[in-house]
Amino acid sequence: MSAGSTGRIDAFTDSAFAFAVTLLVIGGAGAPADFNGLRAALAEIPAFAFGFAVVVMFWFAHVRWRRLRGEGDMRSLLLTLLLVFLVLIYIQPLRAMAAATAIFATGQGGGFRGSLAGLFAVYGTGFVAMSLTTAALFADALRNPALDARGRAQAKGDIGVWLILAATGIVSILISMTRFGVFAAMVYSTLPLTIWLYSSRHDWTGGQAEE
């Protein structure tokens, strides 16, 4: 795959993620018509911040992957397109999850009306699919013949991180199917600890001394 093609693919991917962010924008239904409307729109800030952080997390992973993979090939292209496809679908349950999280954490915003357990199951499915796709991207990066020991260690480390994210999503889905389903989202709060434990034990340098 040529450098020019790679640039166009990355530009398309960046645009798709940017479009996903616009779907999360505060007051997406239009400009507030009065002060009450403005206050309601501002109450959605926590939900927007949550959704924005999640989208940026996946986007940044793709940027990091590209640095490790280089130009890539057809497999790289297909995995990238799959990630784009998933994020454009995932944005809807993400919006709902963000609203539910914001109302729970701050008491502000519109919240989510309906089955929380069902919401957590749908959200978790999208989260797992995107996490596994991202892990597959970093596995694809290991096919780069120009990757040095440090780069290979970083790719393997990122595979582990995204598999932890996927496993956490799977656990959340399973809990959502039980009578404790409304607590399924709490599983994601374990991620800072599990990722820190994994990252602190993984050799990110590939045995090379830090410069």
Model confidence over 33-82: pLDDT tens digits?
Answer: 677 766 666 667 777 888 899 999 999 999 999 999 998 899 999 999 99
Number of domains in the chain: 1
Element at 85 (helix H, strand E): helix 74-106
Residue 127 is assigned to a structural domain of this protein: yes
- Domain limits for position 71: 3-201
State the pLDDT at residue 109. 45
Cα radius of gyration (the chain): 19
Is 211 part of any domain?
Answer: no
Confirm whether 162 is domain-assigned. Answer: yes
- What is the Cα–Cα distance from 179 to 181, expressed in whole angstroms? 5
**26 within some domain:** yes
Largest CA distance in the chain: 61
- Measured between alpha carbons, how far is 12 from 35 in angstroms, rounded to an integer? 38
Q: Is 72 left (phi over 0), alpha (psi -120 to 50) or beta?
A: left
**157 part of a folded domain:** yes
Lowest mean pLDDT among 63-72, 111-120, 151-160: 111-120
Residue 62 located in a structural domain: yes
Please give the average per-residue pLDDT across 81-97, as a whole number.
Answer: 92
